[in-house]
Structure 1
Amino acid sequence: MSARIRLGCQGWSYPDWVGTFYPPGARQEHQLPFYGRVFDTVELDTTFYRAPRATIARSWARHTPADFSFAAKVPRAITHDAGLAGVKDALEAFVRALDPLGEKLGPLLVQMPAAFRRTQDTERALRRFLADAPEGVRIAVEFRHASWHAAPVYEALAARRACLAWTEWRDLPQATVVTGDFLYVRWLGDREEILRYDRVQIDRAASFGRWEAALRRALPEVREVFGYFNNHWAGHSPASAAEMRRRLGLATPDPRALWPQGELF
């Protein structure tokens, strides 16, 4: 495998992780540095609601290793409210807000709502959005309506070297089409089925097997893979990310082996 594989979680700050993933008593300010000792990437969910202040983005960069990567969800004002139409300035402002991350900025995830159907107008908005996206910024697009899974859409993504996000979520079509030089994979889940995030609660062995096979098939076509697990997928996303890494032959530190001895963290 020549592609760089980055697998991690959607977010890092969950109280239920303290005493299971994080050491007992771990304070919030210590959690991202600890997370970065185990995984080399994270998906930022907070950016879906608002762009980060420069001080926050600098803090994220400062508290993670040099080769760490942050994927950032594009704000809902761009995806859900505007439907990608007329958002060039807003997207540029969002990218500028992430400048403090420097080389640690990974792909931007454009998560579209299920109500966003493919029509002439919405496809035109998508094409304009892709054309207006700043150079050098990697774009992954997640469609939640089946109408978007069509050859012209894949061709539009490929023309911009944008990635069709691969997502496991409810009955969402699991299209595993490669449109760019990187992969972006998301494992979601039912928010009502899992309420605590301190342990694995759903056996996902069959799903792991399918996704491992899909990733192995695609690896020769890409240079980098970004994959993120949600707690709702199986119950405890650090364990899910570690298991997929193991299946792909990647070593993952045992978080408990990193817990400090004696005093609380």
Structure 2
Amino acid sequence: MTTPRGRVRIGISGWRYAPWRGVFYPEGLAQRRELEYASRCFHSIEINGTFYSLQRPESFRLWRDETPDEFVFAVKGSRFLTHLKRLKDVETPLASFCAQGLLALGPKLGPILWQLPPNFRFDAQRLRGFFELLPTDTTQAEKLARRREVTLMKGRSVLKAKGEHALRHALEVRHESFLVPECTALLREFNIALVVADTARKFPFVGDVTADFVYIRLHGDEELYASGYGDEALDTWARRIRTWRTGGVPNDVPRIERTRPARRPRDVYCYFDNDAKVRAPFDARGLMKRLGG
């Protein structure tokens, strides 16, 4: 009898890096075709530009059209909300974030990643207020997008989704104060994944399952954003992912809580962010190979 299992998507964080040209990307490949090429190599890619600034609708439409039908994007949440506003009084900027073109991705819109700064301490009340604003499906996202900052978003908004589907959110924390059961309980209440982040021991590394999917970011196991993953490390991550996708919990990943979640298949998203020395795309390929492509 086959064990039920979720879908695994392995990918990279961003795709436009000059050092990758002629190393990962074939020599002479036009820059405008890099996403087309990368999306044929991986199941998913994180869009990083949305972290730094609002993008334009035509960019999202282009990204949608350049990628295969089964491809999925993860979208990194705006640092204006997480780092500058620090999740306080963010309804209007969150609406503008949703209106910038996310809805144009249609079914290719995957999880939305919210990365908190290292000096952001756990604040249950502030987090709850933010989580209550997050849309859980495209219908809610449409309603929220209409509350955008109209002047800022004039002529650059998408307010209608291409199809209706659920939305997923993941939270990447970087302060030890989050390592309390109150945090995991809050995330579980809103079905938000606590990101499993490998950061060369610089930031918290925990694997509590708090949602119906698992979100992994591999920033480098020895040097942040730079070091590659060797055969042993990739074997380890492949084993962990097999466990998560069938509803289990790896015993070698620290957890905040002792209790184990109900066993059910879970989708797994895993992104390599060790791009500085052109390791990410090759490590992603290595992990995909171990998991059957």
Query: Could you tell me which residue of structure 2 aligns to residue 208 of structure 1?
Result: 234
Aligned partners of 2:6 and 2:266 also within 8 Å: yes
Q: Residue type matched to 2:61 in 1?
A: R
Are residues 1:104 and 2:108 paired?
A: yes
Which of 181, 206, 209 aligns to 1:178? It is 209
Could you tell me which of 178, 187, 191 is aligned with 1:148?
178
Tell me, yes or no, if the aligned pair for 1:203 and 1:234 is still in contact at 8 Å: no
Q: Which has the higher contact order (CA 8 A, sep 6+)?
A: 1
> How many pairs are equivalent?
240
Match of 2:147 in 1: none
Unaligned runs of 5+ residues in structure 2 are: 138-166, 248-264
Deviates more, 1:28-37 or 1:217-226: 217-226
Match of 1:130 in 2: 131
Aligned positions of 1:224-239 closer than 5 A: 224-232=267-275, 235-239=278-282
Which one of the candidate residues 114, 119, 127 is aligned to 1:115?
A: 119
Q: Per the alignment, in what secondary structure is the counterpart of residue 90 of structure 1?
A: helix
Moved over 6 A (4+): none
Gaps of 5+ in 1: 195-200, 252-265
TM-score normalised over the length of structure 1: 0.85
* 8 Å contact kept, 1:114–1:144: yes
Q: What is the Cα deviation at residue 88 of structure 1?
A: 2.0
Q: Which residue of 2 aligns with 1:68?
A: 71
State whether residues 13 and 48 of structure 2, in contact with CA within 8 Å, keep that contact through their aligned partners in structure 1: yes
**C-alpha deviation, 1:232, in angstroms:** 4.2
Query: Do structure 1's residue 51 and structure 2's residue 57 form an aligned pair?
Result: no
Aligned letter for 1:85?
K
- Larger mean Cα displacement after TM superposition, 221-230 or 46-55: 221-230
Instruction: Indicate conservation of the 8 Å contact 1:92/1:133, yes or no.
Output: no
CA distance in 2, matches of 1:242, 1:216: 16
TM-superposed CA distance for 1:247, in Å, is 1.8
Structure with bigger helix share is: 1
Say yes or no: does 1:6 pair with 2:9: yes
Q: Which amino acid aligns with 2:131?
A: L
Compute the displacement of 1:211 (Å). Answer: 2.3
Deviations 1:111-153 (A, max 9, x none): 00110012xxx22111111111112221100000111021111
| Secondary structure, counterpart of 2:239 in structure 1 | helix
Distance 1:203 1:37 in 2: 22
Q: What is the Cα deviation at residue 202 of structure 1?
A: 4.1
SS at match of 2:246: helix
Aligned pairs for 1:186-201 (under 5 A) are: 186-189=217-220, 190=223, 194=226
Distance 1:227 1:215, change over 3 A: same
Question: Could you say if the C-alpha distance between residues 224 and 247 of structure 1 is closer, same or farther in structure 2, counting changes exceeding 3 Å?
Answer: same
Identity of aligned residues (%): 33
CA shift digits 1:175-227 (9 cap, x unpaired): 11111111110011346x84xxxxxx645334323322322221123431111
**C-alpha separation in 1, matches of 2:230 and 2:276:** 8
2:129 is paired with a residue of what secondary structure? Answer: helix
**Quick check: 2:24–2:278 contact (8 Å CA) kept in 1?**
no
Matched AA of 1:166: V
1:248 Cα offset (Å): 1.8
Q: Which residue of 2 aligns with 1:220?
A: 246
Q: Distance in 2 between matches of 1:185 and 1:66?
A: 23
Q: CA RMSD in A?
A: 1.8
